[in-house]
Chain A
Amino acid sequence: MQILKIITKNALRHKLRTFLTILGVAIAILAFGLLRTVISAWYAGVEASSASRLVTRNSISLIFPLPLSYKDKIRQVDGVKLVSFGNWFGGIYIDEKNFFANYAVEPKGYLTLYPEITIPEDQKKAFLQDRKGAVAGRILIEKYRWKIGDIITLKGTIFPGEWDFVLRGIYRGRDKTVDESAFIFQWDYLNETLKKTTPLRADQVGWYMIGITNPNLAADVAVRIDKTFKNSLAETLTETEKAFQLGFISMTEAIIIAIKLVSFVVIFIIMVVVANTMAMTARERIGEYAVFKTLGFGGWHIARLIFGESLLISLIGCILGIVLTFPAADIFSSSLRTYFPVFNVATKTIYMDIGASVLVGSVAAVFPTWRAIKIRIADGLRRIG
């Protein structure tokens, strides 16, 4: 107990310096937490995806469609329970800046396959009955202040023209990882219009979403599906939804690596700042350490004093930083909504914050401790300032 008292007293000797150091640690932990949250937001799509769903797309690349006729063939493959499909629409709402994901899906199968997308029963019914109907996520509705029954017009980038939709429902995510900022409408509407305007592009599907009977056999089912269409005009590539999402992320891997590196740099910067504080503190008190030694206290005792002070400072800073992370993440997520629809501070991030600050506190204390222990009593007493 006695030692805790000394440590606290010591820390308060230079109030301004201690305060500044704690502030520095708090800011660094805040930055670290935010960067880590950005990384986990990147992986949000993977978190939300299920291993028991497969995605089949054209093996050349995502921009090539598959014929609608594949639906029944896929349905016949052993192990397939349910097949739905969709098209990326890529429509623009008023201005390019208002980006949100919008796609056409075959709604019945889609909503069964994705139970995490929850729509009130009456809205769901209304959506299914209206060919021009659409549902949008809670965040979108709040952002653009849409009401049910509103007519929403999107300008097609891939499918030219102005497309009118009637908002029939609002969906919410069953859990926090679900993207609540997408816009979904009936595939039939898209297809029927294409049949009239550009018949060549009709009856084409962007990707198939497949529910399987046994998640353990996902790989086998995927191979079976791809085999069915081998050497056809549109060869397929089937993978689990998780792998599909990871594929996207691996394309932007360079950015993730950069953010990870930067998040370590910030810890390093603060390590240097805390180490500096501790070095100065230890230098000023070298005479006291010599007195301790004269009185018979060992090096271990001095080490505990220095380490204790360093850890105290970094942990107080850490707690402050963690507390600040949550409001900061809120501000961040509203300005970066276009990039990261899902932006939550994960529990893992907080553990990493604490780990980082313990590391900072210990590393910062190593060098001053070494100096304090090594110095000879006579030298320590002789030194001034």
Chain B
Amino acid sequence: MKIPLLYSLRNLWTRRLTTVLTASGMALVVFVFAAILMLAEGLRKTLIETGSYDNVLVIRKAAVSEVQSGVDRLQASIVETQPEVALGSEGQRLLSKELVVLITLPRRGSDKPANVVIRGIGGSSLKLRPQVKLIEGRMPRPGSSEIIAGQSIAKRFKGGGVGETLRFAMRDWTVVGVFDAGNTGFNSEIWGDVDQLMQAFRRPVYSSVIFKLRDSSELEAVKSRLEHDPRLTLDALRETKYYEKQSEMMAKFLRILGISLTLIFSIGAIIGAMITMYAAVANRTNEIGTMRALGFQRVSILTSFLMESLFLAFIGGCIGLFFASFLQLFTVSTMNWQTFSELAFSFSLTLEIISIALLFALVMGFIGGVLPAFRAARMNILDALWKS
């Protein structure tokens, strides 16, 4: 015969204070666990969505980021003539020679400086990045000191809004537009005409060449041709791959921190659950004896106490996830060590994270409840009834 589930639930209700305390301990652990998963997921999403699978990024050999790279005009032209470069609707090559440099800008409000990416763009830059949409103002006119800013730059940096000016490289640059690039890293960039920026920064070379493949499978062909051309000292790789590499260090850091934190925290919560469940067993010794006398099996008692612990964990898990879901409203902006530049990404909650976090809570409840439940099941009927 089975003990009704209601018995376990009612028990939790009777000892409300203890239930709330234990569940909130678990909720906090689940919250931290979910938050770290969400952060890692947000970072991954941002960097993966930044690149397009069909785009190829060409940078100088051995350079790890666009900022370190240099591609001179002659080399860039050789890349431009490759037959694998896709053609646009007007017959132009979907290829863009870009300049990427970092400048230090003060944030709004706090005045604290941060490194911001400035990208010099050409005519095809926007076509290569369909995620980027102008949401305010207009595009900069080629040949002028006009720039457009990514949404998170416009929001968080002094002089980043439409109509404002930024001063760098001995010139005043007018922000004429703001673009939204979805969840991507471009949101933390400033774009302007590449030739103007090269002049202003006195950099005679491009940083990278980006082009769209005519056919996605032709990467290997163009890659080996570019890398074996004696005139070139360049590396070609898929844009998605490039951005994934950019976040390796940050992702690894989040992973190490996340795993060690949740491990330690979950031990705390398991101990909390164990204390609660041991007390529940101890307090109900008489009850357990009575139930056994009534004919309930040991297994039923084991299951009943285990269920109680799992319920407790489930409540905790739900509360933790509930609060964690509000984190999606926040955006984290920090410096990416590898590129040295500002990167903004947000917490992102997926169905997978929800299920992992709940599973994690249940595992905590199970580990915390299994020993006390065994103690309850192993009790001798007479001893249990004797104890006052």
A90 to B67, CA, bound (A): 12
Q: Is B63 a contact of A157 with CB atoms below 8 Å?
A: yes
Q: Which residues of B contact A90 (CB under 8 A)?
A: 64, 68
A338 to B21, CA, bound (A): 39
Residues of B within 8 A of A (CB): 17-18, 21-22, 24-25, 28-29, 31-32, 60-64, 67-68, 101-104, 112-115, 168-170, 201-202, 204, 233, 249, 253, 256-257, 260-261, 264-265, 267-269, 271-272, 274-276, 278-279, 282-283, 332-335, 337, 340, 342
CB distance from B388 to the nearest CB of A (A): 9
Q: Is B275 a contact of A17 with CB atoms below 8 Å?
A: yes
Q: Which residues of A contact B68 (CB under 8 A)?
A: 90, 157-158
Q: 8 Å CB contacts to B: which residues of A231-269?
A: 231, 233, 235, 237, 247-248, 250-255, 258-259, 262, 265-266, 268-269
User: Can you show 6 pairs from A to B with CB atoms below 8 A apart?
Assistant: A90-B68, A235-B170, A250-B112, A254-B333, A265-B265, A273-B21
CB distance from B232 to the nearest CB of A (A): 12
| Residues of A in contact with B, size category | 35 or more
Q: Is B261 a contact of A276 with CB atoms below 8 Å?
A: no
Q: Which residues of B contact A99 (CB under 8 A)?
A: 249
Q: Is A16 a contact of B278 with CB atoms below 8 Å?
A: yes
A221 near B: Cβ within 8 Å? no
A3 near B: Cβ within 8 Å? no
Q: Is B32 a contact of A61 with CB atoms below 8 Å?
A: no
A355 near B: Cβ within 8 Å? no
Q: Is the interface of A mostly helix, strand, loop or mixed?
A: helix
Q: Name the residue of chain B whose CB is nearest to the CB of A35.
A: B261
Q: Which residues of B contact A297 (CB under 8 A)?
A: none
A217 near B: Cβ within 8 Å? no
Q: Is A21 a contact of B271 with CB atoms below 8 Å?
A: yes
A280 near B: Cβ within 8 Å? yes
Q: Name the residue of chain B whose CB is nearest to the CB of A234.
A: B202
Q: Is A157 a contact of B62 with CB atoms below 8 Å?
A: yes
Q: Is A61 a contact of B102 with CB atoms below 8 Å?
A: yes
Q: Is A336 a contact of B256 with CB atoms below 8 Å?
A: yes
Q: Which residues of B contact A69 (CB under 8 A)?
A: none
Q: Is A280 a contact of B264 with CB atoms below 8 Å?
A: no
Given contacts A269-B265, A276-B25, A280-B18, contact A63 B67 (CB under 8 A): yes
A332 to B261, CA, bound (A): 12
Q: Is A28 a contact of B332 with CB atoms below 8 Å?
A: no
Q: Which residues of B contact A200 (CB under 8 A)?
A: 204
A259 to B22, CA, bound (A): 24
A68 to B169, CA, bound (A): 19
Q: Is B268 a contact of A160 with CB atoms below 8 Å?
A: no
A39 to B25, CA, bound (A): 24
CB distance from B309 to the nearest CB of A (A): 14
Q: Which residues of B contact A233 (CB under 8 A)?
A: 170, 202
Q: Is A254 a contact of B278 with CB atoms below 8 Å?
A: no
A14 to B282, CA, bound (A): 10
Known: A62-B102, A92-B64; 20 extra A-B contacts, CB below 8 A, are: A20-B271, A23-B271, A24-B275, A38-B257, A60-B169, A61-B102, A61-B115, A63-B340, A92-B62, A157-B62, A157-B63, A235-B170, A248-B335, A251-B113, A251-B115, A253-B334, A265-B265, A272-B22, A279-B18, A335-B256
A27 near B: Cβ within 8 Å? yes
Q: Is B64 a contact of A270 with CB atoms below 8 Å?
A: no
Q: Which residues of B contact A250 (CB under 8 A)?
A: 112-114
Q: Is A269 a contact of B25 with CB atoms below 8 Å?
A: yes
Listed from nearest, the 10 A-B pairs whose CB atoms lie closest are A251-B335, A273-B272, A276-B21, A24-B271, A272-B25, A254-B334, A31-B264, A61-B102, A250-B112, A61-B104
